[in-house]
Amino acid sequence: MSEKMHRVVIIGSGFGGLWATRGLASCPVQVTLIDRANHHLFQPLLYQVATVGLSAPDISAPLRHILRHQRNVEVHLGNVTSIDVIGKSITTGDDAQVSYDTLILATGATHVYFGNDAWHRMRLGSRPLLMHSTFVSAFFTPSNALSWR
């Protein structure tokens, strides 16, 4: 009788999720990586994309491409809608259930405004990508150069 392989579910494919996934490459476990995006984005270089120093594909790559040599991982696209800690399973937005023996939550971080909620309006967030297209389009249609706000 063969023993069932230990199942590790990792939610999130940012730095933490990818490091955890890659760290388990040589372990006798089955890894399931779940994220709502099918790519990893290297956020520290978003400003380079915004200022046209790099193109968006230079700072992002498909998860399946990054993990293509790791045989013990499956990548699933989806939002986790619930976690059943007692039953050791998660449910995704399409009502799929994924069981686990070990769960790693690596869902990332968010902006903190230190009590200055008005700063929320001024944050860049994903604006660097909008700014990139604005800068590029400025070379073709100068009248649209300031329309990104």
Residue 12's nearest CA partner among 30, 31, 35, 37 is 35
Q: Given this model, what pLDDT does residue 1 score? A: 42
pLDDT digits (tens, 9 = 90+) for 22-67: 999 999 999 999 998 888 877 777 777 777 787 777 888 888 889 9
Q: What is the DSSP letter of 64?
A: H
Own/partner contacts of 75-82, CB < 8 Å, gap of 24 or more, are: 75/13, 75/33, 75/35, 75/38, 76/32, 76/33, 76/34, 76/35, 77/34, 77/35, 77/36, 77/37, 77/38, 78/34, 78/35, 78/36, 79/36, 80/11, 80/34
Q: Given this model, what pLDDT does residue 131 score? A: 55
Residue 19 has pLDDT above 90, yes or no: yes
Q: Given this model, what pLDDT does residue 145 score? A: 44
Residue 72 has pLDDT above 90, yes or no: yes
Alpha carbon distance 65, 40 (integer Å) = 10
Alpha carbon distance 75, 131 (integer Å) = 31
**Helix (H/G/I), strand (E/B), else coil: 99:** strand
Q: Given this model, what pLDDT does residue 144 score? A: 44
Alpha carbon distance 22, 17 (integer Å) = 9
pTM for this entry? 0.73
pLDDT digits (tens, 9 = 90+) for 82-132: 999 999 999 998 889 999 999 999 987 766 777 887 877 766 555 555 555
Main-chain dihedrals φ then ψ at residue 64, nearest 5 degrees: -65, -30
Q: Which residue has the higher pLDDT, 5 or 129?
A: 5
